[in-house]
A and B are shown apart, each in its own frame.
Chain A
Amino acid sequence: MIDLICITCPRGCHLKVDEENGYAVSGNACPRGEVYGYNEVTNPKRVVTSTVRTSSREYPRCPVKTNGAIPKEKMFEAMALLDGITLETPIEEGEVVIENLFETGIDFVTCKAIN
């Protein structure tokens, strides 16, 4: 039995994952907890948020996020990909900054509109 704390939402459910029983999850208050518990012991994933440079003097950084969770061990690699990028203003919220990270189908997208 593996004890985990669900990080999907701030409620922080105390999960138990039974690795001898098909990774059955208990202690979750919602279905998202079940998915998290299973993934966390089989293939842990995280959403990565950071910023990229912009061409604006007033707003030199634009926040970005992965629009889904990527494998946890790829976090630093994903961060490095953002280093050389400069976004030209105007920037819309939800613009794709890097497409299809590590063939996961997940993109880095902007989180803020900057004029």
Chain B
Amino acid sequence: MSTSLLVWIILAPLLGAILNGGLYFYHIKRKAISDLTFSLIGTITPLISFLITLSLFLRMNDEGIIFKQELFTWLSIDKLNIDMTLLGDNLSIFMSMFVTFVGWLIHIYAIGYMKGDNGFGKFFAYFNLFLASMLILVLADNPIILFIGWEGVGVCSYLLIKFYYGNAENIIAANKAFIANRVGDFGFLLGVVTLFFALGEVDLSFGSIEANVANASNELLILSGFLLFVGAMGKSAQVPLYVWLPDAMAGPTPISALIHAATMVTAGVYMVARFHFLYSGIEEIGLFIAYIGAISALFAAVIATRQTDIKKILAYSTMSQLGYMFIAVGLGFYSTGLFHVFTHAFFKAMLFMGAGGVIIALHHEQNIFKIAQHRAQLPIIGATFLIGVIAISGIPPFSGFFSKDAILAAAFQEGQYLIWAIALGTAFLTAFYMFRMYFIMFVAPVKHKTQYVYTSKTITIPLLILAIGAIGAGFLNFPAIFGGEHFVDTWLAQLNSKTIHLSHMTEYILMITSIVVAAAGIYVSYKKYAKFDVSKPEEEVGLIGNKFYVDELYDTLFVQSSKKLSTFIDRVLDDKIIDGFIMNTSSNFVNLGKKVAMIQNANVRFYAAFMLIGMTCIFIYLYITLGL
């Protein structure tokens, strides 16, 4: 059913971005504009998006319809037609529901976090643009339009990571994020092109791709599925393109919350779910995705156990949770994966916002041991942080448990016991490192008396709202064995996800196993860190502390080698061979010219002789030709 409302979901934050950007220019060039104006524009526009999405959601729920809005034809070249069409089906409305909602809360939070910052207006302009790009990505009806949003979030993350561009490290981090994403984007674009040819050059809307996917050759589909997933690897920070995510922590904390919870990193999972009709046909790639997810989950969890920077721990935990999501979507449990995206958005946004609150309260201190040394009383942040930590660790009845347990059960049911074991191990590590962070920051004994620090309302209220989400979101997909209804699974029925149909006994055993594993992680963490002497902080040393030297490896493999290659091209290929050839040619001409110039030596007698020779030659020629 066509509607004119869909476009306003995107346009609202986009207009907000333009308005805020314009006002910010006015602010720096002419007259100062109060932060209130920026924050009003910045927060109302996501709210408008959310309300429109909500109204569409309610209508869809009542009438069971799918919305579609055709705006204009963007490109029309021969057989390739790219229409600017927005699609509001169950999947995209589901995504944009929590993207706009969580995004809106993060916008509110940012008012408190960014208070007094010079770039306040700029920040909100970028923030709105970020949300608009993500919504283009979500609501797009064909992969090319999706790619616009895909690139948009990449650009916005770049702009926001280097928000404090005075610091050279931030710029390097932003460049790293952008370049790592470009590698993935290239894969994505190639994937779309491959798909276009695989399907026999039909028009590229998701509907027609789905209709034609059965006729395409399997090899090309596998190739395109793989290439599209390379894009997802970059965007969703999976092994081996994850390196940008921890460094992306250089930006202000609300950005980390937005990147990790609502936008950007979930794009990869969303994209795989969007192409569910493609991936359900190519199980090999699905399994590959699941393995990449499992490896990323474990890898990130292991690294996170030794990190000391609060935001980097959270960054690695995001990567680890994204690994879970890819396990689910790779194995064909699309709605389960998206359910984890959904619950993760709540508790991860909350964790980041809590971390940001702590960082602000302690004047931009990010090392968890130093945070402990200067501990202050932050009751609301402490409580919500604990909820987030429990939720991500997978303790019932918090939301993380239901979504994570469903993924574990899915891996078990599919007979992928290795993936299941890795995921279970990761669950243990997750509980361990999250509680390590919590215990050190809030529990470990400190010598000084802690003081109450006031936290801005704009920080605490979003935290409390998200806390409700983090506790309650799990019940939206309550397991059937407890008499629950799968609201999310039902809502996303269009994805044809596999469902879990294990025997009740197995399901109980799996649940108890995962609870026990999580509890064991918490226990180990409690033993080690609850009474930890924070005056002797752990250092980031050893193999794990140095993140398995992957950054160094990439540096040697890609950065240094390409530097070497450029040096080679510059010094040898260009200077010696190409320049050598050209300079040699030119100097040959110069030398020849000098030789010729010798004739013009201004020696009169020489000229005379030369003239004589010339005349003689002419006469001889005339004598021969005229035959005189």
A and B: real partners? Answer: no
